[in-house]
Amino acid sequence: MAAILFWRQVRRYNNFMSDPKPTIDQRLDAIAESLQLLTADVHELQILTRENTANIASLTADVASLTRITSDVVDIVKTHEHRLNRIQGLT
């Protein structure tokens, strides 16, 4: 959506610049269209930011869970290693 609006603005700007001397109405129209496009871009960025924030929160929870699981596995490995060392008479 933003790309379409961007290229529409580029085309409008190019048309505006090709006129030898744009009128006040043409200038106001160009400003109004630029403002609409900017507003649409800001709105889209707000939506994307909310989505990214939710994704980051989910990833943070997943990393915390993996950290706990990894810690549990390390504890199990240490326990088994200690037991094997005891069985082999190394401690």
Compare 87 and 11 and report the one with higher pLDDT: 87
pLDDT at 54 over 90: yes
pLDDT at 18 over 70: no
Region of poorest pLDDT, from 44-48, 53-57, 87-91: 87-91
**Rounded Cα–Cα distance for residues 52 and 58 (Å):** 10
Q: How confident is the model at residue 69 (pLDDT cuts 50, 70, 90)?
A: very high
Say which residues have a Cβ less than 8 Å from residue 13's Cβ, sequence separation at least 6.
30
Q: What percent of the chain has pLDDT over 90?
A: 56
Q: What percent of the chain has pLDDT over 70?
A: 78
Compare 33 and 8 and report the one with higher pLDDT: 33
pLDDT at 50 over 60: yes
Global confidence as pTM: 0.54
Work out the number of other CB atoms within 10 angstroms of the CB of residue 70.
Answer: 10
